[in-house]
Structure 1
Amino acid sequence: MAAPIPFDKDFDVEPGRCYELSPLLRRVTSPNPSLFTFKGTNTYIVGRGNVAVVDPGPDLPEQTAAILRAVEGETVTHIVVTHTHNDHSPGVPALVAATGAKTYGFGPHGTGVRRQWPFASPEGGDMSFRPDVTVPDGGTIAGDGWTLEALHTPGHISNHLCFTLKEENVLLSGDHVMAWSTSVVSPPDGDMADYMASLDRLLGRPETTYWPGHGPAVRDPQPFVRAFIAHRNEREVQIAACLSDGPKTIPEMVRVMYADVPETLHRAAARSVLAHILRMVDDGRLAVVDGEPGPDAVYRNA
């Protein structure tokens, strides 16, 4: 078994309702529940009066309307995007049309990819998003009584940013760290080596709470992040064990490693295993039997 993670799936949320989380933070959850989005995408409103909206979510008129209801009588000055998956940024154009606010993010979809692989990702990306203002690692976005500091945390996706809300010492963690589930890391835009480095980067940071892109808050983040790292390392031990009796394909490994997981999730699991395998091939622990690394290759222990 992989190392346990203290997941929290207690998230009794009403889509479209604005929840007061703290003096500077509110949340509106989009009505897009799924196996991969849990109860829906969390949109955060930062500040009072002149506010930032973080992750407008998917292109759903009801979510845009809910955000606008939540900020009625206020001015949206910034629209901030953690990353460009289709459940986070496609709602940007409708919110821009309604508010005129500028958009902020690390860059277009694919910005930050370290290495090109000879296969495509089946996961959807928002190819239309182009931030008005590019926010680099360590960059700040300042508003009326609030400050967001960006942390470039690639892995789940190459242009992923987390944001520290400095005044409250909390982290808007996007899909990098969530309380309800592990994060999907799907190559080629997802990168397990990057993801592990981004997890390491959170160790020792001072934020007391993480507010993620899906599900409830992570209330005790440091042990949680350590559990994520241990879990991922154990997955790589499992991969090596699967290959100890000879070469195998990824689907063969998934059937063994995820025997206790519904088959409906095996496709996503296969992408995660691929991400681990590419990391292990790169550092010399695994080898390809013939040809190039990819989802259809046969692998063996080096």
Structure 2
Amino acid sequence: MIVTPPKKIPPMEEIGDEIYKIVLPQPFYAPNNIYLFCGNEGLTLIDSGYIESIPMLQASLRTKGFSLKDIRHVIYTHNHLDHISSALVLKSYAPKAIFYGYRAMQTGVGNYLESMRLFEEATEDLFRRAFGDPDELNRILTESRSGWNQFFSKFKETKKGDPILRIDHAIDHNDSLEIDSRLFRFLYTPGHNLYHITPVLPHSGIYFSGDLIIANLTAIYSELDGSLGDYYFTLSKLLEEPIRRLLPAHGHEIEDPIRTIQLVKKTLSILEKGVIRRLKEGSSDLLHLMEAAIGKKVHNGGHLPTALGLIYSIIQKLVLEGMIRIEIRENGYEIFHMR
């Protein structure tokens, strides 16, 4: 991969409390917020973005007189493509960088490319559950495979990539670490993702929430590696924290953190009640339940699999509670019925 400046350079913007933010566009979802600190040792990053975004990251750093070689610490919130896939090649450009992540993430992920192949297969299984129309299913599968092939091809372009996800310093829940003279505390915050952590600056009440909270909406997370029960638990624990600033990985800073977390919990409850109400009116499938709950506009962005995953998590919860049953038809397509 040749690291060259892009045509449009995202700014490295100071946002207060000695924190900088770079917004990196990427092909799958909303742009990523990369948060940075400038210290005595060099740069500390919260996440580093998608593999294809490395040129934009480098160009942005140069606007403040830095380069990729100045990166000394990279803290990963979780292992989704848009947050961590740059790590597969970043060590070649930032050889002195130390990488931090949840302890179970390295052993749980291992070969990142193989783990993403499994994720691709699970995504296709989710589409097969949702789409009963064979033509529509084939169209969705073709689009999905094109996106995944784009990622795998970008990795193949570089001669410096390592498919093994390597974490130099493993993080456990409630660990405290001094990183370049700045004290961090780390919370294990599963739900959106199995390996999700939230870095915290305890003395200033700043929480880097990754994908737990996106804007003022329910974080769309995946049934494939997330958990609705864990997500509820994490939100409840966050309400006990002294949050002053909540900085998400996508979108603007959360204006009222506590109120927003409460709203997200309420929204999840509303979504669940909506699924129950719709099924009481008659049997339905995952696609139509998702469209009724979230809207058809999801089809126009990269959030379709995660939106389906969110609703399917609710379905699984209701199945465990004995409220609904699943009828599996040809090719894995599913219909849901109230008991």
2:261 maps to 1:267: no
> Hey, what does 1:298 align to over in structure 2?
335
Shift of 1:75: 4.7
> Hey, what does 2:127 align to over in structure 1?
none
Say if 2:218 and 2:267, in contact at 8 Å, map to a contact too: no
Q: Deviations for 1:27-69, whole angstroms, at most 9, x for unmatched residues?
A: 11113266x31xx111111352234211110112323313642
Shift of 1:279: 2.0
Say if 1:121 and 1:187, in contact at 8 Å, map to a contact too: no
Residue correspondences, number: 279
Q: Given the alignment, which residue of 225, 229, 234 partners 1:198?
A: 234
> Hey, what does 1:173 align to over in structure 2?
209
2:228 maps to 1:228: no
Shift of 1:170: 0.6
**TM-score, normalised with respect to structure 1:** 0.81
Between the aligned partners of 1:242 and 1:110, the Cα distance in structure 2 is 37
> Hey, what does 2:48 align to over in structure 1?
56
Between the aligned partners of 1:224 and 1:15, the Cα distance in structure 2 is 32
Q: Deviations for 1:113-161, whole angstroms, at most 9, x for unmatched residues?
A: xxxxxx7135879974231221111122312331221111111111111
SS in structure 2 at match of 1:72: coil
Cα distance 1:196–1:256, how it changes in 2: closer, same or farther (>3 A)? same
> Hey, what does 1:31 align to over in structure 2?
25
Identity, % of aligned positions: 21
**TM-score, normalised with respect to structure 2:** 0.72
Structure 2, unaligned stretches of length 5 or more? 1-7, 110-120, 125-143, 153-162
SS in structure 1 at match of 2:280: coil
Q: Given the alignment, which residue of 41, 44, 58 partners 1:65?
A: 58
- Bigger fraction of residues in helix: 2
Between the aligned partners of 2:210 and 2:234, the Cα distance in structure 1 is 13
Between the aligned partners of 2:223 and 2:332, the Cα distance in structure 1 is 9
Cα distance 1:244–1:29, how it changes in 2: closer, same or farther (>3 A)? same
Say if 1:108 and 1:159, in contact at 8 Å, map to a contact too: no
Between the aligned partners of 2:220 and 2:108, the Cα distance in structure 1 is 16
Cα distance 1:216–1:289, how it changes in 2: closer, same or farther (>3 A)? same
SS in structure 1 at match of 2:288: helix
SS in structure 2 at match of 1:96: helix
Cα distance 1:258–1:54, how it changes in 2: closer, same or farther (>3 A)? closer
Say if 1:156 and 1:175, in contact at 8 Å, map to a contact too: yes
> Hey, what does 1:208 align to over in structure 2?
244
Say if 2:100 and 2:169, in contact at 8 Å, map to a contact too: yes
Structure 1, unaligned stretches of length 5 or more? 1-13, 112-118
Between the aligned partners of 1:295 and 1:278, the Cα distance in structure 2 is 16
Shift of 1:173: 0.5
Amino acid paired to 2:289: M
Larger Cα-atom Rg: 2
> Hey, what does 2:183 align to over in structure 1?
147
Which deviates more, 72-81 or 224-233? 72-81
Q: Given the alignment, which residue of 120, 123, 142 partners 2:122?
A: 120
Shift of 1:175: 0.7
> Hey, what does 2:273 align to over in structure 1?
237
Q: Deviations for 1:75-95, whole angstroms, at most 9, x for unmatched residues?
A: 533111111111111122443
Between the aligned partners of 1:32 and 1:218, the Cα distance in structure 2 is 22
> Hey, what does 2:106 align to over in structure 1?
108
Which deviates more, 128-137 or 224-233? 128-137
Q: Given the alignment, which residue of 34, 39, 42 partners 2:33?
A: 42
Say if 1:103 and 1:131, in contact at 8 Å, map to a contact too: yes
Q: Over the residues paired in the alignment, what is the CA RMSD in angstroms?
A: 3.1
